Structure 1
Amino acid sequence: MRDIQMVLERWGAWAANNHEDVTWSSIAAGF
């Protein structure tokens, strides 16, 4: 479970840096 938190945090940082809110929303919906 800790690995999942790490992945989500990295994805969140990546989405924020790239301003890809639409892509992030799609990925979040997958979870």
Structure 2
Amino acid sequence: MGDHKPVFLSFRIAPGAGKTNAHVHKCCVVQ
């Protein structure tokens, strides 16, 4: 879980967070 938080924040700050956030969310759900 600790590894997902920083990654999620990084993607959230990055441009086009909408698409990246959806992808990261799927990865988190899979794991």
The TM-score normalised by the length of structure 1 is: 0.41
TM-score (norm 2): 0.41
Which protein has the bigger helix share?
A: 1
